[in-house]
Every structure is written in C-alpha cells, then in structure tokens.
Amino acid sequence: MLNIDNYKNYIALHDERKQILERETAIKEEMATLEGALITELLDNDMSKLNVGNKLAYIAEDIKPIVKDKWAAINMLKDNGYEDYVSENYSWQQIKRLIKDILESEESLPMCFKDLIEYKSEAKLRVRKA
C-alpha cells in the first residue's frame, strides 16, 4: 500500500525548495546590484573595509590568470626564474599566486609574460565576522 502522506510531504518539500532557490536568486541579483556601488563608495572614501555591527565588509581582489599557451608559458617561467611556481603539471592556483606575488612588488607583469600569460582582476565585496 502506498503511503500518500510521504508523497504529500515530498511534494511540499520540493515546492518549498523551489521557493527558497527563487528567493536565493533574487537575493544574489540584489547583492550584485549593490556590490559595485558599495565598492565605489569605499574606494571614494579611501577605505577598503568597514565594520558594520559585528560584521566586516571588505574589498577582496580576485585574480584570474589567462594562459594562452601552456607549454610556452611553462618554458618562459622557467627561463625567467619562476621555476618554483611552475612544473609540467602546474595548477591555476600556482599561476594565480605567482601573479599576486609579482603584482605586490611591481605595477604590472614583466614583459616576458606578454602574449603568454595575462590576468583579469576583479574586486569583490566580501563579508565576515568582525
């Protein structure tokens, strides 16, 4: 015999989950709309973070490497003293760390990176406990 109550409960949970996912999508869209304005506001006030209650809103830079030719990039990195960051089976995290390290001490990537490795930098507003 079928337990109809279990089916009703499952369908109710399914519908509730759908509503939650729709609400999550709306929240993400609203946050994305606010994010750019809030980042601009912080930067215009020479700030990178702000305590609000027991939370800290801060700007985090996300660097995404773009490697055009893996093997040429590996050889270029090895030839230019970056062998500690790379091997034949390097990961994106290693290249990301290398780019961050270089950009902390220089304003741009060295010329040897030209046409092989580029990056895209994107500012994101993050929140954590203060």
Asked if 102 contacts 109 with a C-beta cutoff of 8 angstroms, the reply is yes
Average pLDDT of the residues in 71-99: 79
End-to-end CA distance of the chain: 55
pLDDT one-digit tens code per residue, 22-69: 999 999 999 999 999 999 999 999 999 999 999 999 999 888 888 888
pLDDT for the residue numbered 110: 85
Average pLDDT of the residues in 14-26: 97
Determine the Cα–Cα distance for residues 104 and 63; give it in Å rounded to an integer: 12
58: which strand partners?
49, 126
Copy the structure tokens of residue 112: 């040897």
Percent of the chain with pLDDT over 90: 46
| pLDDT higher than threshold 70 for residue 104 | yes
Asked if 55 contacts 129 with a C-beta cutoff of 8 angstroms, the reply is yes
